[in-house]
Amino acid sequence: MAPLRERVQLIISIIAGIVIVTALASAPASPADERVGAGALRSRDTAPGELSFFERFGNALFGSGAPRAQFRGFEVPATPPPPGSPLDLEGGAGEHTCAVEPFSQGVSRDGRSLFTVSLSPSYPRAPYELRIGSLPAGMTVAFNRSEGTAPDRVRLIAAAAKDAHAGSFTVVVIYREIQPAGVVLVSTCRVNFIVE
């Protein structure tokens, strides 16, 4: 099903590109475009009252009545994401966090140590998945539960083989929260293993 979604997104992107190019091609050229050629892409080459390339591009893409925000000398449309969308960070999405206790602990070679991963979701009873980042040679990590609903406290068991390299290693715990619409938001926390 994912390849179909990717194809649809590609087709939509191509159509949007064609619409933008057509709109830009049909926009009247300003005297600044004729005067400086390709240099008209710079905002300072546009005479007062004339639309620069970026303004024509923005109007073609977003319409001329969109609210605008200033960004390094160019105006870009400033439209907030819809409430509850994955981009709406003020609405709760993306605010899930995790923490490992203790952050740092010794792991004896041919032994293991226990840690606790505390999961705080962005909404109640949020489904989650836990994964671990890259591990040093000779180390293994297991969770007593790698899926469930948060808030939750999960045990992380770190084990070192007899031939594991000694040293201090910081590893990433990946906390994936599944939103109601199926969107997956990712947060990370770190844990430090001191192999002795």
The rounded distance, in Å, linking the Cα atoms of 38 and 61 is: 21
Packed helices 53-62 and 2-26: angle between N→C axes, nearest 10 degrees: 130
- What pLDDT band is residue 183 in, cutting at 50, 70 and 90? confident
What is the CA 8 to chain-centroid distance, rounded?
A: 22
Q: Give, for 15, the enclosing helix (H) or strand (E).
A: helix 2-26
CB 112 within 8 A of CB 159: yes
CATH for 92-195 is 2.60.40.10
* Mean local confidence (pLDDT), 31-47: 45
Per-residue pLDDT at 44 exceeds 50 = no
Q: What is the DSSP string of 70-105?
A: EETTEEEE--PPPTTSTT-GGGTTT--EEEEESSEE
- pTM for the full model? 0.52
Can you give the residue ranges of every domain in the chain?
2-77, 92-195
Residue 22: its pLDDT value, please?
59
CB 53 within 8 A of CB 32: no
Residue 156: its pLDDT value, please?
94
* Mean local confidence (pLDDT), 35-46: 44
Residue 17: its pLDDT value, please?
66
Q: What tokens appear for 146 in the block?
A: 């790698």
Q: Compute the mean pLDDT over every residue in the chain, rounded to the nearest whole number.
A: 73
Per-residue pLDDT at 163 exceeds 50 = yes
Asked which of 4-18, 84-98, 139-153 is least confident by mean pLDDT, the reply is 84-98
Residue 70: its pLDDT value, please?
40
* Mean local confidence (pLDDT), 22-47: 48
| Among candidate residues 78, 56, 57, 75, the one with its CA nearest the CA of residue 67 | 78
* Mean local confidence (pLDDT), 175-191: 89
Per-residue pLDDT at 76 exceeds 60 = no
